[in-house]
Amino acid sequence: MPNIMLTYRCNLNCPYCFANEFVNKQSTDITFDSFLSAVHFITKDGPAFLGLIGGEPTLHKDFKNILRTIIEDRKIKECTVYTNGLELEPYIDEISSPKFRLLVNCNSPETIGEERFAKIAKNLDVLINQRYMRDRINLGVNYYSDDLDCSFIIELLNRFDLHRVRLSLTVPDFSVCDTVSSVAFFRQRKQGLMNLLRRFCDNAIVPYYDCNKPPVCIWTDEEKQWIQEYLDRYGVKESNLLETNSLCYPVIDILPTLEAVRCFGMSSFEKVNICDFDSVTDLASYFLNRVDCEAYRIADCADCQACYYRKTRHCTAGCIGFKSEFIRKANETIDTVLIGNN
């Protein structure tokens, strides 16, 4: 689903932020005209889903007007607002329209302060219990450190009788770290992740992974069996906790400048202007050609080299950002060979 980034500004400063190439580095907001252009681009092939992201999208000075425009636009099927939940109060009437879903990224009171945490909980209370948005709100938590105490999200979910949570496994900041093996990264974090899953299981909470899914090969047979029993225990038929597909599709995040990136994890790889493409589908195809094809071809480790799941395009070994530099080099080589052939 394509997203429109309304602003680079954020009222928090989360250590794991996926959009850290942009957020709070500049103060640009999208202009209203550019917002309309982005919507037109996304919907010109027919009714479509879209997301609003930031920074913190609610900080955009025209946010109310943007929400009303979306409510009135019949070509937008549904819109998901990705928010930290702090500044929702002025927009309760618009947000509770059936057009919207909310993904509220939650942080602990120790990280953001008790007062802010209480404000978020109050906004959730209004939306869930007074505006009946229960089925259109998902909470999310970012698992960014093995030391992270997730009691806060469990308590929040329990408070609102919610049983699903989006679990984002954050990745290293690829712009500053050396090349890392993703399989080694997942193996290293596996025990902490397993402990977290056990706590969720004890509290009748079944998470689903955001885009960065652990490859199935990191689990032992015993661990796989435990995860399957966990899902069976809560009657969950469809889940990405244990699937063999560790892959992602181009998201298409449109920046305030109307440049687009494949996703934030690959934002430094390449930015293109949406005006150079006829549709979102074409833009996604462009990134599939440039990025995803190579991500399957490039093996993360010796096991991946021979692996059926890589060869049959079921597994890129987690986030493609891990392979960003290799993909860049592969593209440079291909471009050089093609230029040489012309």
Given the rule CB under 6 A, which residues bind ligand SF4?
A: 183, 211-212, 215-217, 246, 248, 251, 263-266, 300, 303-304, 307, 309-310, 315, 317, 319-321
Rank residues 31 and 312 by Cβ distance to ligand SF4 and give the closer one. Answer: 312
The bridge status of strand 253-254 relative to strand 259-261 is antiparallel
User: Closer CB to ligand SF4, residue 133 or residue 315?
Assistant: 315
- The smaller minimum CB distance to ligand SF4, of residues 112 and 315, is found at 315
| CA–CA separation, 335 and 62 (whole Å) | 42
Q: Which is closer to ligand SF4, CB of 86 or CB of 167?
A: 167
Q: How far apart are CB 99 and ligand SF4 at their closest, in Å?
A: 25
Distances (CA, A) of 80 to 159, 221, 290, 317: 23, 37, 27, 27
Quick check: 320 and 248 in contact, CB under 8 A?
Answer: yes
Task: Find the shortest distance in angstroms from Cβ 253 to ligand SF4.
Answer: 9
For residue 273, how many other CB atoms are within 10 A of its CB? 11
**CB closer to ligand SF4 out of 41 and 264:** 264
Interhelix angle for 151-159 vs 114-125, to 10°?
A: 30
Report how far residue 78's alpha carbon sits from residue 72's, in angstroms, rounded to the nearest whole number.
Answer: 11
Buried b (16+ CB within 10 A) or exposed e, 249-271: ebbbbbbbebbbbbbbbbbebbe
CB of 243 to ligand SF4, least distance (A): 11
Residue with the shortest CB distance to ligand SF4: 265
Least separation in angstroms between residue 206's CB and ligand SF4 is 21
Q: How far is the CB of 216 from ligand SF4 (least distance, A)?
A: 5
